[in-house]
Structure 1
């Protein structure tokens, strides 16, 4: 996968969603599944990538991460 800045949504094994941002999406998803991604996903493995957006800058990706985190579960499903 090409480099960039990504905002992504993972679906955890318990059906919950985790939203984050990274500059290497493939490596980040692998880290989550190895228990090294985030405290939240550590106990909810395996996770699967269900959505992502690409941005030119880190700031744009971080801003979008914040926006998505404000959405309800239903709104996230619609986005996905």
Structure 2
């Protein structure tokens, strides 16, 4: 059975890279070796794996990766640290125009 992985790497500049692969060990080695100079992580090494999640279906992994890529760095770090209360707090929309925050 083939598995798919969504993963996050913390880069040397403290940015977080989110990716998806069907071979996490191979992909991490590719990132660490810097095989592709056009890759986001090429100039941001060393890299540290801070999170990964395994999926049995490609479409589930793809959906999750796209979802996480839209998150703030704080949300990504909360997920990586398994701080689900903080993740919940950070995910609440605080825009003044949001219906939950609109004061009549």
Establish whether TM, by shorter chain, passes 0.5: yes
How big is each residue's C-alpha offset from its partner over 1:35-80, in whole Å with a ceiling of 9 and x where there is no partner? 1266100010111110011100111111111000011111111101
- TM norm structure 2: 0.70
Larger proportion of strand? 1
SS at match of 1:42: coil
Match of 2:71 in 1: 71
The structure that has the greater radius of gyration is: 2
TM superposition outliers: structure 1 runs of 4+ over 3 Å: none
Give RMSD over aligned pairs: 1.3
Quote the Cα distance in structure 1 between the aligned partners of 2:46 and 2:62: 24
> 2:43 maps to which residue?
43
* Residues in 2 aligned to 1:28 and 1:39: alpha-carbon distance in whole angstroms: 12
Q: Structure 1 length as normaliser, TM-score? A: 0.90
Write the distance in 1 (CA, Å) between the matches of 2:17 and 2:25. 15
**How many residues were matched structurally?**
78
Instruction: Give unmatched runs, 5+ long, in structure 2.
Output: 81-104
* Unmatched segments (≥5 aa) in structure 1: none
Q: Give the superposition deviation at 1:14.
A: 1.1
